[in-house]
Every structure is written in C-alpha cells, then in structure tokens.
C-alpha cells in the first residue's frame, strides 16, 4: 500500500522505467491539457480524478450521521464510538472503512485512550488499497501521523520517532500532487520533527544510516520539486501555447533554453500523438543527461565512426572549453567547430589535429600547390589563347599574302606577255622600217621574256622548295667566275635602266662547292631588287670578298631602303613591304625567300643592312670548304 497512490500512478511508474532504460535523458515529465505536470515522483496541478466513491450503504450512512452528531453535538464520545463501529460493521468499501476507522481512532484519542486509538489507526494501515484517501490526503499519511501523535501523548518517544520515520519514508516514496500544498506541509513538518527529535533522542546506528539515506532522497525530491516549479513558472505558458498551435501529427522536438537564477536551464519536449491526447496527455518533456552523454554516449558513437588517424573529435561548451575529447588528448587549439543543429544548445563539435597543427599549417602546402596549379593553368590558357590569336593572325596574313601573290604573279605574267605580243606583232606587220626602232623592239621583247623566265623560274623553284623537293647540284666552282657571269648576263639590263654599277672582285679564283645556277639565281634576285627599289640614286656596288672562314658577296644599292621592323620579315614567303614604292613595283614576294633557302642549303647566311631613303646592303656568306 502506498500513500501517494492515485489514478495516474501508472504514469509515474512508466516515467520511472523510461528514465532508467534511457540514461541519456533525465527529468522526464508529462504535460496534460490543463497544464498539469507529472514527473517520476512529484506532480503539480494534475487533475486527479477522485477514486470512485462507493454508493454508501443506507445503514452505514445512518449510523455514520448519528455517530457524527454524538461526537460533535452531544459530545458523547462513547456513544459515537459505538455508532461509528456500527457503521463500520455495515460497510464493506475500503475507502469508507478507512474514514470510519480514523473517526473511531479520533474519538479514542479525545477520550485519552491512546492505545485503543493506535489500534484503530493501525487497522487503516492493514487495509491494502493504494488509492485510498481521507479528504485529499492519503489514508496512510493520516493514520501514521495520528499514531505518532498518540505516542507523543503516551510519551513513548521511541515509538513516536519510529512512526514518524515510517511516515517520512512513505512521504518520500509516494509524493502526490504538489497543488494545494498538503503534501509539502506533511513532508516539511515530518522532516523537521525527525531532525529535532533525532538530535535529542539517542537513536540506533541502523536508524541513523536510514535517516542519511532518507535525507538524500529528500534532497533529490526537492530538486525535482524545484525543477517542476521552474517549468510551471517559467516555461509552461510558452510551451502550452506552442503546443496548441502545431499540428498534432508531427513528432518534432522543441528546445527551450532560459536563464533561471543565473544559470542556463535547458529542456526539450515534443507533442504527443493524438492517441495520447485522448487520455489528456499533451506533451513529453526531458532534459539531457549531459554527464552520461559526454562520458558514455559520445565515446561510443565516435568509436563507431571512422575518422582516420589524423583527426580527433571533441565537444566544447559555449566558452570553448573542452568537455570531451577523443583519446583524452590535451590539445590547446581546435581546427574547426560547428554547433549542434538542435539539441545540446551551446555545445559544439570540434576537430583537433593530434600533432597540434593549426588549420593553416595543415592546409598550407595544399593551398600553395593548388595556387601554383591554378596559376599554371591560367598561364597555359593564356599562352594557348595568345598562340591561337597569333596563329589566326598569321593564317589570315598568309591568306592575304597568297591572294596578293596570285594577283601579282598574274599581273607579272600578263604584262611581259602583252608587251612581247605587241612588239612581236608590230615587227611582223613590217610597219617598222627603221633599223634602230627594230633593235629597240627586239630589246624590249628580249627583256620582257627574260623577266618572264626569271619570274617563272622563281615560282617553280619556290614550289619545289615549298614541297621539299628542290635539288641542288653542288660542284666545285669559282665563285668569282659565277658572279662575273651573272653580272655579265644582267649588266645590260642594269645599264639599260640607267644604273651605274661598281664591281669589286678578287683577282684569285674562289673555289667553293656550290650549285652555280642557284647562286646566280640568288644574285639575279638581289640585283633585280636593287634595280626595282631604287629611285634617283641609281648606283649598285657588287663586292666579292673572302675572310678566314667564308666568302661573301654583297650587293649595295642607294635605293629606298627598308624600315627596321620589316627587316626580318622580308625573307618570309609572299612578304612584301607595304610602301608606295613596293606597290608600284611588280613582284611576287618570293625572291628573297628563295635566296635565303638557297644560301642556307649551301650552309651559308644572308643578311641585310638598310636605312630608309639611303639604301640597302644584302650580304650572302658561304663558308669556305673544310670549315
């Protein structure tokens, strides 16, 4: 039998069991629709449905009423005991019997017959019914406190003390609703009496130990009472309004954190599903048992997760002090932290490096590497873009030059052909009688056909060269002789154009392994250019020289010259300097390309020095044999 027994005792048992099965939670509590609270031991404002009062037997009721009259109006206590006893004889309901027995006990007490009173009260304790109450107070509590009073009146201190101890134990074991203050009144007065009489009475060792045990229990109970009061005072109003809002189906946990008496009070709760709500239960609340979570739960969970050797996991509080760390390392600095999303407000998960390196140190090398890679990729991309742009420009330049070449060459072919045809026809018609005129026409036809041959040779040679099939016939020959021969062949044309030619040749022959025809083609191209690109100053100097390593032929003119930045390009295929002079001069842009190719095939070089408006010097150098 227990004094706090009530209709929701099973809920207390359920909470108690749940708490012991789930050590990560503590202070579980239930909230009902009226805002009533219940924990594993105490409850507050929980509307306890009164135990169904039995239909009182009419004889019992009659005797009970008369007994009360005799007790209070007639003040005939003996008569009232008789009538109460009569009522008791007719009653068979425990609750009713407990009430009647307590009345009989009271009458004996008033009569000063304390032993008899004790006897009656003890009968109440013998009835085994958990929900039994007299008024709002459990019948056991009434009976035990009355027995204690009787012993007090009998001056049996020991018995009185023992009874109070039993009552104290019952009160601690079975607290009932805190509302109304009955429970706290009984608990506090009994606890006080025990302390007072404990000091004056010499009690046995075992009893002393028992008291110590009960005091711990009382302290725990008061903690729970304080907890439930905080919820009732601080948290419940907000919680109830929140709970009434949300949909009943969602099982979402809510977290509340409040500052109460200078410390943070945290709890979580969730709304119970509709099935519970039918039995007036609205929500289940709880607190986390942080000690257990830190010492048992986290180590267990973290042990089952593979993090690798290079990282340790820890838990920090809001001030960044370490609450828990894997392997119990002592580490000053964490690498990164992040808060828990919902639960454990104020706690953070932190990652540590076992070698106490900072995140900068750990990532420094990788950062550098990625930076270099990144810059490298950007550079490669830039180079690629530049090369592509250059290639595009080059290609468009080549195609422009090609089309220019085609138009130049066709012009070059057409002009001499037209001249040859015109003068040929004129001669053929016989209208030219004068020998002098005839000679002039023959000379034009010869010159133009030479030019044509020269052009066609250049184009054919170039196409062989471009295709890589140009062949050379290297033979030992006298370079001086080759130059002299070429000049001889071209001399007429030079002087014909009004040029003055100066030739400086060595007296001794210069024997080299050369392709004679190709070398004279180079010379003709250079002489031809000197003629083409000269204005008023019609002077050409041809010089053949020899030094220790090479033989050189230089052809200097006093013509238009070439701008500095064009000097390198003039040897490129189809390239023609874009000056007014070049435009009015016929050409294919192949002469120098061919000359360079031929000279290089001889292992030599071709160089140019030039000044705009002053003239140009082209120097061909061919290495001497054995060098």
> Footprint of ligand ADP on this chain (CB under 6 A)?
525, 529-530, 533, 557, 559-562, 570, 575-577, 582, 587-593, 616
- Residues 241-248: contacts with CB under 8 Å, at least 24 apart: 243/31, 243/271, 243/282, 243/283, 246/271, 248/273, 248/274, 248/277
CB of 525 to ligand ADP, least distance (A): 6
- Strands in 341-487 per DSSP E: 348-352, 475-478
CB of 567 to ligand ADP, least distance (A): 9
Name which of 138 and 587 has its Cβ closer to ligand ADP.
587
CB of 617 to ligand ADP, least distance (A): 9
Residues 162 and 540: their CA atoms lie apart, in Å, by 145
Name which of 170 and 616 has its Cβ closer to ligand ADP.
616
Burial pattern 226-248, b for ≥16 Cβ within 10 A else e, equals ebbebbbeebbeebbeebeeeee
Q: Is the dihedral of CA 487, 490, 494, 495 positive or negative?
A: positive
Name which of 240 and 398 has its Cβ closer to ligand ADP.
398
Partners of 503 in beta bridges: 542
Orientation of helix 157-173 relative to helix 205-230, angle to 10°? 40
Q: What angle do CA 397, 398, 404 make, to 5 degrees?
A: 90
Residues 199 and 208: their CA atoms lie apart, in Å, by 11
Do the beta carbons of residue 447 and residue 423 sit within 8 Å?
no
CB of 545 to ligand ADP, least distance (A): 19
CB of 564 to ligand ADP, least distance (A): 13
CB of 600 to ligand ADP, least distance (A): 15
The length of the chain is 627
Residues 222 and 214: their CA atoms lie apart, in Å, by 12
CB of 385 to ligand ADP, least distance (A): 31
CB of 394 to ligand ADP, least distance (A): 18
Cα 351 to the center of its chain, rounded Å: 15
The Cβ-side half-sphere exposure at 173, using a 13 Å CA radius, reads 14
CB of 401 to ligand ADP, least distance (A): 11
Write out the DSSP string of 3-46: TT--TTHHHHHHHHHHHHH-TTEEEEEEEETTS-EE-SS-EES-
């Amino acid at each position: 039998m227990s004094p706090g027994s009530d209709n929701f005792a099973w809920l207390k048992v359920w909470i108690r069991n749940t708490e012991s099965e789930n050590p990560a939670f503590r202070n579980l509590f239930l909230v009902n629709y009226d805002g009533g609270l219940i924990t594993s031991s105490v409850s507050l404002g929980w509307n306890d449905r009164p135990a169904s009062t039995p239909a009182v037997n009419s004889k019992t009721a009659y005797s009970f009423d008369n007994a009360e009259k005799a007790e209070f109006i007639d003040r005939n206590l003996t008569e009232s005991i008789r009538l109460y006893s009569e009522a008791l004889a007719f009653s068979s309901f425990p609750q009713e019997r407990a009430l009647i027995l307590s009345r009989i006990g009271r009458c004996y007490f008033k009569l000063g017959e304390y032993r008899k009173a004790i006897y009656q009260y003890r009968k109440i304790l013998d009835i085994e019914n958990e929900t039994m109450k007299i008024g709002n107070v459990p019948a056991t509590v009434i009976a035990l406190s009355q027995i204690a009073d009787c012993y007090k009146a009998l001056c049996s201190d020991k018995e009185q003390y023992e009874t109070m101890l039993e009552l104290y134990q019952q009160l601690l074991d079975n607290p009932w609703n805190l509302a109304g203050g009955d429970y706290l009144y009984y608990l506090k007065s009994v606890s006080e009496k025990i302390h007072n009489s404990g000091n004056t009475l010499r009690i046995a060792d075992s009893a002393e130990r028992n008291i110590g045990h009960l005091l711990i229990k009382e302290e725990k109970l008061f903690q729970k009472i304080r907890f439930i009061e905080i919820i009732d005072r601080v948290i419940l109003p907000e919680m109830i309004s929140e709970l009434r809002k949300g949909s009943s189906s969602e099982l979402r946990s809510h977290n509340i954190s409040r500052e109460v008496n200078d410390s943070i009070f945290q709890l979580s709760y969730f709304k119970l599903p509709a099935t519970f709500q039918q039995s007036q239960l609205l929500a289940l609340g709880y607190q986390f048992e942080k000690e257990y979570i830190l010492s048992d739960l986290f180590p267990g969970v973290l042990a089952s997760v593979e993090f690798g050797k290079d990282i340790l996991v820890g838990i920090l509080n809001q001030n960044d002090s370490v609450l828990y760390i894997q392997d119990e390392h002592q580490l000053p600095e964490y690498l990164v932290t992040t808060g828990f999303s919902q639960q454990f407000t104020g706690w953070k998960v932190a990652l540590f490096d076992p070698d106490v390196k900072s995140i900068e140190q750990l990532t420094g090398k990788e950062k550098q590497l990625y930076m270099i890679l990144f810059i490298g990729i950007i550079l490669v991309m830039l180079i690629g873009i530049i090369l592509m742009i250059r290639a595009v420009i080059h290609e468009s330049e080549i195609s422009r030059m090609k089309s220019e070449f085609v138009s130049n060459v066709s012009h070059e072919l057409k002009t001499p052909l037209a001249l040859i045809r015109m003068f040929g026809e004129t001669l053929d018609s016989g209208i030219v009688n004068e020998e002098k005129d005839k000679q002039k026409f023959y000379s034009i036809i010869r010159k133009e056909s030479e030019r044509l041959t020269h052009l066609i040779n250049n184009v054919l040679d170039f196409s062989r060269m471009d295709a890589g099939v140009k062949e050379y016939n290297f033979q030992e020959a006298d370079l001086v002789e080759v130059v002299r021969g070429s000049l001889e062949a071209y001399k007429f044309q030079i002087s014909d154009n009004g040029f003055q030619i100066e030739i400086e040749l060595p007296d001794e022959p210069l024997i080299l392994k050369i392709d004679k025809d190709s070398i004279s083609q180079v010379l003709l191209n250079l002489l031809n250019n000197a003629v083409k690109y000269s204005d008023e100053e019609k002077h050409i100097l041809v010089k053949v020289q020899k030094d220790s390593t090479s033989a050189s032929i230089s052809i200097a003119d006093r013509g238009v010259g070439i701008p500095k930045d064009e000097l390198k390009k003039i040897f490129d295929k189809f390239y023609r300097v874009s000056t007014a002079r070049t435009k009015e001069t016929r050409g294919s842009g192949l002469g120098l390309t061919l000359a360079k190719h031929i000279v290089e095939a001889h292992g030599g070089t071709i160089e140019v020095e030039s000044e705009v408006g002053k003239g140009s010097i082209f120097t061909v150098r061919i290495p001497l044999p054995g060098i």
